[in-house]
């Protein structure tokens, strides 16, 4: 079976050579103004749609996990007393650390799981609302183009890259939020679309890249406001650009699983090397398991873990 050279849809039988599907023919004619606006567009299955998959997408599952953690923290706030007092709009620093915030002095000294858990923890209602809005828009697009398992791996690896950058840049300030991983999705999509990984109409490609670029620029500018962890944003974006570029160049097709796994392993090993280097730079005891330092502990060369008191939102 031949595929459309514009969008990748499968063409009818006995279609050989470089052909364009009926959907793209009419779409491009509409873009040139050659057909009326209310003309009926043929319904054709998108090239990345798969039959037999659950109607619940992975983006919805990630969305649900973030909301579930947020609601659990709300219940925790009602049950326990934290200093300073937590509210629905902003959880306290000790509570965020308890729920898995990323803070270098703990992360590099044994609690490596914080590099992942912090991307499912948010600082308050407005924080999670903005991040989930961005996740819903970027996640659905990324999942439809990459497929579920690749999308899930990209999301987690970009979250790791964002968390590592944050912990290495300010190891004594806790950081929470999914936006580092979300920036990674934007970076992966920009690299993939720019390098021509997906066959989509030029008009759609240009519009998507323009939207992604605007999201990244405005979000980075917004990230310079006090209390926002722009380091994690940049770390996630750079990681996403690297992953997206390598997949586009080495394993652009979804059936090239071994090559994609190799790409992911290379990125993970690079991040692991960066984590070890950062830990040694700050002379933290590199180990696995519970960190030997308690919240608020003071002693050279370490400062109080929750000082300065404000946490960073990502």
Contact 116, 136 (CB under 8 A): no
For residue 221, give every residue at least 6 positions away whose Cβ sits within 8 Å of its Cβ, in sequence order, or none. Answer: none
For residue 252, give every residue at least 6 positions away whose Cβ sits within 8 Å of its Cβ, in sequence order, or none. Answer: 197
pLDDT, greater one: 51 or 127: 127
Q: CA-CA distance, 223 to 134, in Å (whole number)?
A: 14
| Angle CA 115–223–136, to nearest 5 | 65
Domain 65-313 homologous superfamily, CATH: Rhomboid-like (1.20.1540.10)
Residue 155 belongs to what H/E stretch? helix 148-169
Mean pLDDT computed over every residue of the chain: 79
For residue 22, give every residue at least 6 positions away whose Cβ sits within 8 Å of its Cβ, in sequence order, or none. Answer: 42, 44
pLDDT band of residue 52 (cuts 50, 70, 90) is: very low
Q: Which long-range contacts (CB under 8 A, 24 or more apart) does 202-210 make?
A: 203/31, 208/141
What would the mean pLDDT of 122-136 be, rounded to a whole number? 91
What would the mean pLDDT of 229-252 be, rounded to a whole number? 92
Total-model pTM: 0.76
- Tell me which residues are annotated as active site: 179, 233
Contact 145, 192 (CB under 8 A): yes
pLDDT, one tens digit per residue, over 186-202 is 999 888 888 865 555 56
In order, the DSSP letters of 58-121 are HHHHHHHHHHHHHHHHHHHHHHS--SSPP-SS---HHHHHHTT-B-HHHHTTT-TTHHHHGGG-
pLDDT, one tens digit per residue, over 56-107 is 889 999 999 999 999 999 888 888 766 555 666 788 888 888 899 999 888 9
Nearest in space to 223 (alpha carbons), one of 241, 235, 206: 235
222-250 as b/e, with b when 16 or more CB fall inside 10 Å? ebeeeebbbbbbbbbbbbbbbbbbbbbee
Q: CA-CA distance, 314 to 164, in Å (whole number)?
A: 13
Where along the chain do its domains lie? 1-47, 65-313
Residues in the chain: 314
Is the predicted pLDDT of residue 14 greater than 80, yes or no? no
């Amino acid at each position: 079976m031949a595929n459309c050279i514009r969008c990748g849809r499968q063409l009818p039988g006995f279609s050989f050579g470089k052909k364009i599907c009926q959907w793209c023919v009419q779409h491009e004619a509409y873009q040139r103004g050659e057909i009326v606006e209310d003309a009926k567009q043929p319904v054709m299955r998108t090239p990345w749609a798969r039959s037999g998959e659950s109607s619940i997408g992975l983006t919805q599952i990630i969305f649900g996990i973030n909301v579930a953690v947020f609601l659990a923290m709300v219940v925790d706030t009602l049950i326990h007393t934290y200093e300073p007092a937590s509210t629905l709009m902003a959880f306290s620093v000790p509570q965020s650390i308890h729920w898995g915030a990323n803070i270098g002095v703990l992360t590099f000294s044994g609690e490596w799981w914080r590099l992942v858990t912090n991307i499912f923890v948010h600082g308050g209602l407005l924080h999670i609302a903005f991040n989930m809005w961005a996740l819903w828009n970027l996640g659905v697009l990324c999942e439809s183009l990459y497929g579920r398992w690749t999308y899930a791996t990209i999301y987690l690896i970009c979250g790791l890259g964002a968390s590592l950058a944050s912990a290495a840049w300010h190891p004594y300030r806790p950081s929470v939020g999914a936006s580092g991983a979300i920036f990674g999705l934007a970076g992966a999509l920009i690299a993939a679309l720019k390098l021509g990984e997906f066959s989509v109409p030029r008009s759609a490609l240009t519009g998507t890249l323009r939207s992604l670029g605007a999201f990244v620029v405005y979000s980075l500018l917004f990230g310079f406001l006090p209390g926002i962890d722009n380091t994690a944003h940049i770390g996630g974006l750079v990681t996403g650009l690297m992953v997206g570029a390598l997949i586009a160049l080495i394993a652009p097709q979804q059936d090239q699983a071994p090559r994609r796994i190799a790409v992911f392993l290379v990125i993970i090993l690079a991040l692991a090397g960066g984590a070890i280097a950062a830990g040694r730079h700050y002379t933290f005891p590199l180990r696995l398991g519970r960190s030997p330092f308690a919240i608020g502990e003071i002693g050279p060369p370490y400062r109080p873990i929750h000082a300065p008191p404000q946490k960073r939102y990502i």
